[in-house]
């Protein structure tokens, strides 16, 4: 059926939603059974349930309901999710245009778009030795640099000297998949007997690039692979966010998710009040808030639609300041990461604030255009000249987060974000937050030193305040 991809949300109350959803992810037959039961009388001709996609439990009716989110998150880690009551479930479906009007008017169902997503790298990028002007690196870009240069800029040696290399921390990578023969994939989403297992993607994949870049700052971290069920839409991304929550409810991992993707805002997004870009209460945006409330820090790429040299994926309506950071990537709860090169020049495609949902976006900038997965002698070879896009900058920042959590495991997502922003290095000629660089360039050494000192003072009863010292 050539219809519209949608998410159909229906009210429901359930106390064992985590195990039920996990069972649906494990079995395509169980997924289909659950979705069919959920659809009930609204199914039939003109509605085709997406294969392999169980109903997704939602625990807050609106994204603004902080009380519901707090109640949901309380004691979740290690609880298997028992006793967490749902408000609704979301079913992925394809709906004919003839049924859409009927569904939109139905009093007991909400219809949301399941929109395509873009992976936020720049593809094949040309470069030469030409100087950039005005502190912006645009096509042709400066040459890439090696990992050692990025590690020195981050100051990770200070953390590593104290043994903080990301050990005991798991980062969930929501992407197109990771090569597990090259990178330390220890789990994620998989169905028995499926060809798409965690770690089964090629080393040239976008997810493999993200995996390599996490390990720049956190070489001892381990990875979960959540590959969108092979389809880059908000519905499958929603499934993988819930899969991360399922795992977190069992053992408290992953502690971080990396999200190097986003929506390209075009005319349909701007004019549709239900779209992920515009609507804070879209199920995908609500699920991200659930994930952060549970205790998982979410790092999101700012996007590649900066004014100076936007990606070819960008629609004119979504380019430049105030237009280029949207959807969950612009939510206050997440860490939104823009990009600079090794000379601290903003890469011209790096998206600019203010954000659609939260004005002060991006939160900070991190490094891109280096030899991580791609480049001379690197695992991905020269399929791309170097790791690039805000897609690369984001996992570098997530790796810094993992290294810090290995040193200070009590940091909440909000505390980790505040620490990273407070210790970022000002660039761009301004003091404090600005639309191009957020709070500044991520600085692992400064974050570690400041948090360590705060902990020492607190332990001696000095009363100093600081993230994670309460």
Is the pLDDT higher at 39 or at 276?
A: 276
What pLDDT, on a 0 to 100 scale, did the predictor assign at position 134?
Answer: 45
Output 439-443 pairs: Cβ under 8 A, ≥24 positions apart: 439/363, 439/364, 440/364, 440/365, 441/153, 441/340, 441/344, 441/364, 441/365, 441/366, 441/367, 442/154, 442/337, 442/364, 442/365, 442/366, 442/367, 442/396, 442/397, 442/400, 443/154, 443/155
Is the confidence at residue 260, as pLDDT, over 70?
yes
DSSP characters for 294-352?
HT-EEEEE--S--SSS--TT--GGG-STTTSS-GGGG-TTSEEEEEE-TTSPEETTS--
Q: List the Cα angle 442/447/451 in 5-degree steps.
A: 160
pLDDT tier for residue 196 given thresholds of 50, 70 and 90: confident
439 versus 233: the higher-pLDDT residue is 439
Report the catalytic residues: 175, 206, 391
At which residue do the structure tokens 């549709």 appear?
Answer: 272
| Distances 1 to 47, 50, 96, 228 between C-alpha atoms, Å | 9, 11, 7, 22
Residue holding tokens 């011209």?
Answer: 348
Q: Are 123 and 304 in contact (CB under 8 A)?
A: no
Q: Within 10 Å of residue 32's Cβ, how many Cβ atoms?
A: 17
Count how many Cα atoms sit within 13 Å of the Cα of residue 217 in the half-sphere of its side chain: 34
Residue-level pLDDT at 56: 95
Task: Give how far Cα 400 sits from Cα of 218, 367, 375, Å.
Answer: 6, 11, 22
The burial class, CB within 10 Å (0-12 / 13-18 / 19+), for 227 is buried
pLDDT value for 467: 46
Boundaries of every domain in the chain: 4-113, 118-457
Q: How far is CA 174 from the centre of its chain?
A: 7
Mean pLDDT calculated for residue range 156-168: 96
Q: Which residues pair with 119 in a beta bridge?
A: 261
Dist CA 20 CA 83 (whole Å) = 13
Average pLDDT over residues 24-46: 84
The least confident of 10-19, 186-195, 252-261, 399-408 is 186-195
Task: State residue 326's pLDDT score.
Answer: 93
The 10s digit of each residue's pLDDT in 114-140 is 998 888 775 544 433 333 444 899 999
**Average model confidence (pLDDT) for the chain?**
90
Confirm if 306 and 362 have CB atoms less than 8 A apart.
Answer: no
pTM above 0.75, yes or no: yes
Share of the chain above pLDDT 70, in %: 92
Q: How far apart are CA 467 and CA 470, in angstroms?
A: 8
- Above 80 in pLDDT, residue 2? no
Q: Which residues pair with 10 in a beta bridge?
A: 89
Instruction: Give dist(CA 298, CA 322) in Å, integer.
Output: 22
pLDDT of residue 229: 65
- Report phi then psi at 299, rounded to 5: -100, 125
The reported pLDDT for the residue numbered 129 is: 38
Torsion of CA 174, 176, 177, 179, to 10 degrees: -130
Supply angle C-alpha 44, 45, 49, rounded to 5: 65
| Residue with the larger pLDDT of the pair 311 and 3 | 311
Let me know: does 87 contact 58? Beta carbons within 8 Å: yes
Query: Positive or negative CA dihedral for 332, 334, 339, 345?
Result: positive
How far apart are the C-alpha atoms of 132 and 350, rounded to whole Å? Answer: 15
pLDDT given for residue 125 in this prediction? 45
Cis peptide before 140 (omega within 30 of 0): yes
pLDDT at 41 (0 to 100): 66
* CA 404-410-415 angle, 5° bins: 70
Residue 273 has pLDDT above 60, yes or no: yes
| pLDDT surpasses 60 at 466 | no
SS3 80: coil
Q: What single string gives the DSSP state of each residue in 170-236?
A: EEEEESS--BTTTS-EEEE---TT-S--TTBS-TTSHHHHHHHHHHHH-TT-EEEEE-GGG--BHHH
| pLDDT at residue 265, as a whole number | 58
pLDDT tens by residue, 314-355: 888 889 999 999 999 999 999 999 999 999 999 999 999 999
3 state DSSP class of 435:
coil
Tell me the helix, strand and coil percentages in the chain, rounded to 5: 35, 20, 50
Most confident among 93-97, 123-127, 166-170 (mean pLDDT):
166-170
Provide the pLDDT confidence category of residue 288 given band limits of 50, 70 and 90.
Answer: very high
In this structure, are residues 246 and 213 in contact, taking their beta carbons and an 8 Å threshold? Answer: no
pLDDT of residue 133: 41
pLDDT-derived band at 190, boundaries 50, 70, 90: confident
Superfamily of domain 118-457: Peptidase S8/S53 domain (3.40.50.200)
pLDDT of residue 464: 45
pLDDT at position 35, please? Answer: 87
Q: Please choose, from the candidates 449, 425, 349, 402, the residue with its C-alpha nearest in 3D space to the C-alpha of residue 213.
A: 402
Question: Is pLDDT at 36 greater than 50 in this prediction?
Answer: yes
Q: How many helices (H) and strands (E) does the chain have?
A: 13, 18
Instruction: Specify the residue for token string 């873009």.
Output: 118
Predicted confidence (pLDDT) per residue in 65-85, tens digit: 999 999 999 999 888 777 888
- Residue 339's DSSP bridge partners are 366
194 Cβ neighbours under 8 A, 6+ residues apart:
none
């Amino acid at each position: 059926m050539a219809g519209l991809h949608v998410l159909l949300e229906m009210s429901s109350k359930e106390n064992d939603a985590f195990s039920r959803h996990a069972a649906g992810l494990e079995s395509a037959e169980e997924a289909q059974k659950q979705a069919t039961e959920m659809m009930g009388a609204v199914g039939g001709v003109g509605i085709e349930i997406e294969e392999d996609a169980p109903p997704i439990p939602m625990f807050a009716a609106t994204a603004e309901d902080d009380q519901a989110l707090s109640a949901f998150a309380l004691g979740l880690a290690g609880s298997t999710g028992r006793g967490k009551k749902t408000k609704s479930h979301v079913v992925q479906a394809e709906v004919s245009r003839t049924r859409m009007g009927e569904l939109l008017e139905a009093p007991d169902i909400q219809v949301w778009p399941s929109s395509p997503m873009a992976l936020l790298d720049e593809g094949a990028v040309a470069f030469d030795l030409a100087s950039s002007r005005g502190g912006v690196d645009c096509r042709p870009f400066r040459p890439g640099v090696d990992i050692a240069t990025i590690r020195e800029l981050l100051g990770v040696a200070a953390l590593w000297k104290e043994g903080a290399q990301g050990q005991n921390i798991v980062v969930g990578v929501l992407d197109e998949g990771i090569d597990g023969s090259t990178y330390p994939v220890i789990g994620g989403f998989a169905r028995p007997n499926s060809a798409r297992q965690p770690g089964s993607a090629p080393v040239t994949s976008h997810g493999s690039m993200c995996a390599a870049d996490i390990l720049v700052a956190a070489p001892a971290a381990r990875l979960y692979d959540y590959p969108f069920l092979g389809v880059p839409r908000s519905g499958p991304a929603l499934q993988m966010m819930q899969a991360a929550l399922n795992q977190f409810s069992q053992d408290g991992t992953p502690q971080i998710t990396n999200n190097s993707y986003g929506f390209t805002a075009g005319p349909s997004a701007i004019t549709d009040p239900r779209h992920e870009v515009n609507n804070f209460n879209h199920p995908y945006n609500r699920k991200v808030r659930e994930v952060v409330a549970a205790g998982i820090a979410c790092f999101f790429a700012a996007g590649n639609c900066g004014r100076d040299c936007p990606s070819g994926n960008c629609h004119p309506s979504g380019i430049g300041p105030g237009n280029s950071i949207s959807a969950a990537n612009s939510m206050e709860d997440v860490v939104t990461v823009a990009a600079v090169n090794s000379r601290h020049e903003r890469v011209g495609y790096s998206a600019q604030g203010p954000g659609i949902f939260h004005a002060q976006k991006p939160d900070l900038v991190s490094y891109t255009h280096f030899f991580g997965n791609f480049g001379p002698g690197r695992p991905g070879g020269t399929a791309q000249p170097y790791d690039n896009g805000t897609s690369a900058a984001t996992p570098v920042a997530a790796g810094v987060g993992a290294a810090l959590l290995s040193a200070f495991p009590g940091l909440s997502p909000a505390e980790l974000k505040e620490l990273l922003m407070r210790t970022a290095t000002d660039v761009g000629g301004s003091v404090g937050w600005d639309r191009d660089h957020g709070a500044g360039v991520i600085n692992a050494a400064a974050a570690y030193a400041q948090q360590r000192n705060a902990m020492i003072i607190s332990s001696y009863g000095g009363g100093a305040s600081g993230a994670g010292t309460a």
